[in-house]
Amino acid sequence: MILNRRSLLTTALTLGATKAFPGMSFAQARPLVFATFTGSWEEAHKAVLVPAFRKANADAAIVLDPMLSVDQIAKVNAAKANPPIDVMLHDPGPALVAVGQDLVEPYPVEKSAYYKDLIAEAQEPMGPAPFFQVVGLTYNPEAVKTPPTSWADLWKPEFKGRVGITNLNSTLGTGWLVEIAKMRGGSETNVDPGFKALEELKPNLAAVAANPGALATLFQQGQIDISPGNFNAIQILKARGVPVEFVAPKEGAIAFKTTIHIVKNSPNRELAFKLIEAAMTPEVQTTLMNPPYLIVPTNSKVTMGGEIARVLAKDTTELKKKFVFQDWKKINEQRSAWIERFNREIKI
């Protein structure tokens, strides 16, 4: 038997779980595994959500496993009967895929204390949406003296070799492709104008990041000056002193829900439910709304304030009026083909 650091860590955590839950069989007694996203999401959940969950649940064992949604789905699909993940976090497109492939359970709404407090748009019976994300333009104000106002600014000659984007495995990358396609006459079902625009963008591209977290790192390393980006992702960079700002483009920033799901056949179903309950509490949502995380809340009992109210919207009603919501059911129909095309054609 080969023992490595990962197997030793897993063993230690499993023993801890057995101690915490003496009624569990050994097969069941592994820690709750929460697949969050990389970067700012991982940091926010590690600092706020996980401690709140553990405090409310006798210091229950939990492991964060950060990865993209597509990787979460692949991992669960590979072991449906004994999934290695208990809780998945998804943007709208992957959430539809996870539900369509029967990988998640209906949320037990009837026993939830907080589901009814979510705004109507966040009440998803297959997995509520405790968070809202907003995608616009991010830039380094020390290098970009005139703040950008449009997606089209990324093509300006002055940004030659200074633009960053993500690949299409991320919701950020795919959602942005759809918006630049729309800017040039396309739609959720026709992104050819978007791919033509990407071809024209190549002289300006400094990097194609693997995910939003890696994109944020490029700002930190000074390798890019401007990119499409998540509002909340840059807040942690700002808190670290990285010069970066966010602006909503005149075409409208992209807004999408982030849902959280109990994986079907999870051996930790009850703890998974309790983690999701913790994510919906006013206390956790208020903390995540404040610096450095600035994640848009969906609990109607949380009043928007601070930077979110100043930059994005003073409440969810204004948010829904100002921002672009995409049709992810249509996007999903062709997304795999778009990812293959992007990987084949967009190389720098």
Distance CA(328)–CA(111), nearest Å, equals 29
Distance CA(292)–CA(300), nearest Å, equals 21
Query: Which residues, in sequence order, are CB contacts of 270 under 8 Å at separation 6+?
Result: none
pLDDT value at residue 9: 39
Taking alpha carbons only, the member of 238, 281, 279, 240 closest to residue 260 is 279
What percent of the chain is predicted at pLDDT more than 70? 92
Distance CA(292)–CA(25), nearest Å, equals 40
pLDDT value at residue 29: 65
Distance CA(232)–CA(236), nearest Å, equals 7
Mean residue pLDDT of the chain comes to 89
pLDDT tens figures, 254-291: 988 999 999 999 999 999 999 999 999 999 999 999 98
Q: What is the mean pLDDT of residues 299-321?
A: 87
Distance CA(342)–CA(4), nearest Å, equals 37
Q: Check whether the bond before 292 is cis (ω within 30° of 0).
A: yes
Q: Which residues pair with 324 in a beta bridge?
A: 254
pLDDT at position 16 over 60: no
pLDDT value at residue 24: 46
pLDDT tens figures, 21-39: 444 444 446 899 999 998 8
Q: ∠ at Cα 314 (310, 316), nearest 5°?
A: 135
pLDDT value at residue 315: 85
162: number of Cβ within 10 Å: 21
Strands (E) across 68-171 are located at: 87-90, 131-139, 163-166
pLDDT tens figures, 52-73: 999 999 999 999 999 988 899 9
pLDDT value at residue 316: 78
Enter the pTM of the model. Answer: 0.77
Which amino acid is it at 172? L
Distance CA(342)–CA(18), nearest Å, equals 46
Pairing of strands 131-139, 245-247: antiparallel
Distance CA(103)–CA(311), nearest Å, equals 37
